Chain A
């Protein structure tokens, strides 16, 4: 503003950045070092850029008791993408219905969807497991994704977006003889593009980072996600191969962090406007 450097701001923000970057840097450095040395507490701040053998080992063979990380990456990616797209699709459809149509029990439908906000997995662990078992969804890919697809947040967000569509536009579409599904495809989807992008980031991160849900419904090692795998590796406290744990942690961090960074602009806007 007045040409002088705002040192206080640079110092505080620099410390903040350090607080976030330093732990991840250490994890990266550790992933390239000898497991024995880390175990003795001789961790070096400088990564050994010639030694990525821990990555090769975990990607191909995995650690004792967990699936190969290459496989876990696929499971996590499938789960995150399935949940993100699933939620977006069913939320767009239901928001479209409750916003633009009058039908019996419309408000009841709306409130039923709203109530899911108050019933996260955490408060219904055991009975949900029983329902999953009845449907034969334990240890299946559908079991990992489908039950997490119902979401009030996304539906409420799309409803807000749709309510903001000017009446003239709706009227014009009707005059042009656009049917309800064409109206959805040609008008509503294009105007919600930025919101869909933002939601995709938020939901991908949500799906990728799930812990309790896969822990409950997937006991089969072949359905281990990255997060589940890491906690298992850390839990095996005897003779933990720390360089392999850290390499797995780096691989678990990369996909969601990359998506957030690449789509930062939409994501920040969507998060602050949508969640409220």
Chain B
């Protein structure tokens, strides 16, 4: 009985706070309540068909893909560049590493505050510079600028995480491989393209998925602090929308259907990732 007692706390928490609510979400996504919340009716896939016929939802999907894609690309490219240089044997590299990893600890919502101070239309340190350059800078009313700001703030926070993983990936490449390439006369860019990047591929793939999930879900706080999804719906990602529809507007059927769509997406990503990692471990 001892082993059962040992797993029991974990199982109970999992059941009550994960499986049960997830099951409820799935069930609620197939039902609809009348406006007074008295009667609940089973409606099959109607919530889902409504959702995918709703142009606002489809737009929000597209917006989420653009937003998450941009955050992922920016955060990974900057991190890769920094990691490549931090892997070189230069003086003070441990200090550089320390100074590059601490933003891991910054909450997404707090990184929004940092960017407010840089780019807020009234108080932002850079806003004046932009205005002097003749750019009408105000992300509170300009949709494109709003998207740019949430992408920058979200990517900024994620660079350290990617940096840590890229650097670990680079350090696990055997020096002999690099040396051999050097002997063969492969230098600079060519060595990077033919040796380093292919050997980093597992790390890159892992980070792609982690970054995409981060930008789709964990940036909710960043967006709430910066734009609350606005102006209009310019920065309303799926996560912001499910919160607005469910918690603010209490539209249970639709928000449950939206939750289930997100659930399917995250299950798909997790399966792809663990398949890939299993294959890697088997090698």
Contact = CB atoms under 8 A, between A and B. Distances in A.
Interface of A: 1, 5-6, 8-10, 12-13, 16-17, 19-21, 23-24, 26-27, 30, 38-41, 43, 90-91, 93-94, 96-98, 100-101, 103, 106, 109, 112-113, 115-120, 122-131, 135, 146-147, 149-150, 155, 180, 205, 208-209, 211-212, 216, 226-227, 230-231, 234-235, 242, 245-246, 249, 252-253, 256-257, 259-261, 264, 268, 271-272, 275-276
Interface stretch (B42-50, B53-61, B93-101, B193-201): B93-101
A24 B255 contact: no
Contact of B21 (A6, A94, A128, A260): A128
A26 B10 contact: no
Interface centre among A1, A41, A126, A257 (most CB of B within 10 A): A126
Nearest to B107: A209
Interface string B6-27: 1101110111111111111100
Interface in B155-173: 156, 159-160, 164-165, 168
Contact of A124 (B4, B25, B99, B112): B25
A13 B105 contact: no
B107 A211 contact: yes
Q: Specify the main secondary structure of chain A where it touches its partner.
A: helix
A106 B6 CA distance: 12
A125 B246 contact: yes
Interface residues of B, number: 88
Given A26-B117, A124-B21, A211-B220, A13 B106 contact: no
Contacts of A8: 85
A125 B247 CA distance: 8
Nearest to A105: B4
A226 B221 CA distance: 12
Interface of B: 2-4, 6-7, 9-11, 13-25, 28, 78, 81-82, 85-86, 88-91, 96, 98-110, 112-118, 122-125, 127-128, 156, 159-160, 164-165, 168, 206, 210, 217, 220-221, 224-225, 228, 239, 242-243, 246-247, 252, 255-256, 259-260, 262-263, 266-267, 270, 277
Given A131-B20, A234-B225, A93 B6 contact: yes
Given A23-B118, A41-B128, A205-B105, 19 more contacts: A12-B82, A17-B96, A20-B103, A23-B117, A93-B9, A106-B3, A112-B15, A112-B19, A113-B10, A113-B14, A125-B247, A126-B247, A127-B23, A147-B17, A180-B2, A234-B112, A256-B107, A275-B210, A276-B277
Q: Specify the main secondary structure of chain B where it touches its partner.
A: helix
23 contacts: A1-B89, A6-B90, A26-B118, A97-B2, A112-B11, A118-B267, A123-B263, A124-B24, A124-B263, A126-B246, A127-B21, A127-B256, A129-B247, A130-B24, A131-B20, A147-B16, A150-B17, A208-B105, A212-B243, A226-B107, A227-B109, A235-B224, A268-B164
A235 B2 CA distance: 51
Contacts of A17: 96, 99-100
A18 B49 CA distance: 49
A101 B85 contact: no
Nearest to A126: B246
B102 A127 contact: no
Contacts of A212: 220-221, 243
Nearest to B153: A23
Contacts of B90: 5-6, 9-10, 13
B165 to A, nearest CB: 6
Contacts of A16: 78, 82, 96, 100
Contacts, number: 264
Nearest 6 pairs between A and B by C-beta?
Answer: A211-B221, A127-B24, A209-B107, A101-B3, A150-B13, A256-B105
B28 A9 contact: no
A212 B262 CA distance: 16
B262 to A, nearest CB: 4
Contacts of B13: 90, 146-147, 149-150
Contacts of B156: 19-20, 23
Contact of B225 (A98, A118, A230): A230
A230 B108 CA distance: 11
A107 B259 CA distance: 28
Contact of A264 (B9, B98, B107): B98
A104 to B, nearest CB: 9
